[in-house]
Amino acid sequence: MNKFPGEIYDARKRGPRNSAGCDTPPRTGGRDDLIGLPQGRDRAAEVGREGSETRTCAPRGLGKRPANRAGLGKLAGVASLAAAALGALPAAASDWGQVNLPRGVTNVSTRIYALHMMAFWVCVCIGAVVFGVMIWSLIFHRKSRGAVPDVTLVHSAKVEVIWTAIPVLILVGMALPAARLLVRINNNTNSQLSIRVNGFQWGWQYKYLGTNVSIISKLSMASDAARMLDSGINVNSVPHYLLSVDHQLVVPVGEKIRLLITSVDVVHSWWVPDLGVKKDAIPGFINQASFIINPSKAGVYRGQCTELCGRDHAFMPIVVRAVTPAAFQAWLKQKEAAGKEASAGAPASTSAAVST
């Protein structure tokens, strides 16, 4: 029980402690102690000399501030050293370009990237606001600053409406462009070239519809040899290790390409990030995908099978070579002529074998 208002009695001390946790000289109850006459001052000096039993302290919370500031200084020093160390790393080691989505080279992939970045910055803003309010509350509304919790606010209809309406508006604002993009992704009409894609263990077959051109694309011999156990080949010396093939899929730029994707054995998935295309190849079912490569983006683009399809799933790369329309027509005519020669030579060799 407190003997005096605002003081806490401590049986282990000669006197009581005040609300800040500091020892105060014991009161004798006399008038001199109350009005500060010499007798009271002498008694206070006597108590002050009893250092083994009475301690002097500052108000609660003030004694810890220098230590907290020193701790913050140490943290700032560590953060600056870490930033300097990260800044000293070579750019090739970090390679931040592989962390984010690629912009791609098609009309769809660039829109996917823009939608992704919009959602990313919305999440960054939400996180900054939420954690900013939390940190501000922890710093400026802590107990050592005399903050008192409000126990009267148990319900507020206004607050409920606000923190429900804001997330709904954010989600609607993000859903509308996402829905428009989904419609554009699945629009496979008015294509100028159709290619049937057959997945198999472990490679791809491409059939150019309307022609007799069909190619089989499998892992290149260099990568296949380097992947063997105890091959002795340094994989870093193999160009595009596990991402190179023996026959590439050739398409023209600036034209709408439609892919008819299926499988002959198990489920595969045809994925080329720069084209913004990822479709499952399912046996007995045909999935469609389409893309238009920007006319200024001729080049080679690589992907992989992204559906676990068996032992050599990791060895099913996809390589697409985009060329100009004129170069594509020349390549297609060359392949058609080679196919006709091969088909014409097959019956002749068969009849010769029968005659012998």
DSSP secondary structure string for all residues of 328-341: HHHHHHHHHHHHHH
DSSP code per residue over 231-286: ----GGGSTTTTS-BSSPEEEETTSEEEEEEEESSS-EEEEEGGGTEEEEE-BT--
Phi-psi region for residue 284, left (φ > 0), alpha (ψ -120 to 50) or beta?
left
pLDDT 10s digits, 46-78: 444 444 444 444 444 444 444 445 544 555 554
Over residues 244-270, mean pLDDT: 95
- Determine the length of the chain: 356
Calpha distance 264→130 (Å, rounded): 51
**Which tokens is 95 given?**
């390679």
What pLDDT was estimated at residue 253? 96
Please compute the mean of the pLDDT values over residues 340-349 and round it to a whole number: 67
Domains and CATH numbers, the chain: 1-84 (no CATH), 101-147+155-187 (1.10.287), 193-346 (2.60.40.420)
| pLDDT confidence band for 36 (50 / 70 / 90) | very low
Paired residues of 291 in beta bridges:
257
Mean predicted confidence (pLDDT) in 248-265: 95
Cβ atoms 321, 248 nearer than 8 A: yes
Residue 84 host element (H or E): helix 65-88
Model confidence band, residue 347 (pLDDT cutoffs 50, 70, 90): low
Q: How far apart are CA 283 and CA 281, in angstroms?
A: 7
pLDDT by residue (tens digit) across 322-344?
999 999 999 999 998 888 887 77
pLDDT digits (tens, 9 = 90+) for 317-327: 999 999 999 99
The whole-angstrom separation of Cα 197 and Cα 287 is 10
Q: What is the pLDDT of residues 116-143, one digit of tens each?
A: 999 999 999 999 999 999 999 999 988 8
What's the rounded Cα separation, in Å, for the pair 109 and 293? Answer: 10
- Higher local confidence (pLDDT), 201 or 32: 201
The string of pLDDT tens digits covering residues 179-235 is 999 999 999 999 999 999 999 999 999 999 999 999 999 999 999 999 998 888 998
Handedness of CA 230, 234, 236, 237 (dihedral sign): negative
pTM greater than the 0.75 cutoff: no
CA distances from 348 to 220, 355, 356 (A): 32, 11, 13
What was the pLDDT predicted at 127? Answer: 95
Give me the residues paired with residue 207 across strands. Answer: 196, 214
CA gap 138, 144 in Å, rounded? 11
The H or E element containing residue 185 is: helix 157-185
